[in-house]
Amino acid sequence: MLLLGFGFARRSAAFSHADSVHAFLDKMLGPGAGFVATWMLLGIYIVFPPVSVLGMTAFTQAFLRHTGIVTGADGLPIALVSWALVWLLVWRGISLTARSVIAVEAVSLLLITALIVVIFVRLGTGNAPGHQTLTPDVF
């Protein structure tokens, strides 16, 4: 993500144009690439919101099921709340959305780090499933 952002920032300095993807690819690879990329980007803009809401619904249902809060949660109310949350973030503006995305990413990085630590501790102590241990055999 950082490299992609860096690339767009560098290209923005070279090409002053409102349509970044089309203009960049049009200048670098020709008009055909810019045309295709613009239509692909439109497809992403159409598909990404419903897929995101489906993901939020599936993960919320799994969380509720695995924690024992609700075993058979209906997906429609969760999806509607997810849509409302997305529209609230859009309505409030980019700064709130950016802060919330950064916060969620920070929490996910902490959880991934905690999972890695738990895996290595369990492997190192020999308490992993199947009595697996941490050995250099994979090398």
* pTM > 0.85: no
| Domain range summary for the chain, segments of one domain joined by + | 18-92, 93-139
Q: Which of the four pLDDT bands, split at 50, 70 and 90, describes residue 18? A: low
| pLDDT band, very low/low/confident/very high, at 56 (cuts 50, 70, 90) | very high
pLDDT in tens, 20-47: 677 777 777 888 888 888 888 889 889 9
pLDDT at 20: 66
CA 17/CA 11 separation, integer angstroms: 10
Tell me the two tokens of residue 41.
């980007």
Q: What is the mean pLDDT of residues 100-113?
A: 94
Amino acid at 66: H
Using 50, 70 and 90 to split pLDDT, how confident is the model at 19? low
- DSSP collapsed to 3 states, the chain: CHHHHHHHHHHHHHCCCCCHHHHHHHHHHCHHHHHHHHHHHHHHHHHHHHHHHHHHHHHHHHHHHHHCCCCCCCHHHHHHHHHHHHHHHHHHCHHHHHHHHHHHHHHHHHHHHHHHHHHHHHHHHCCCHHHCCCCHHHC
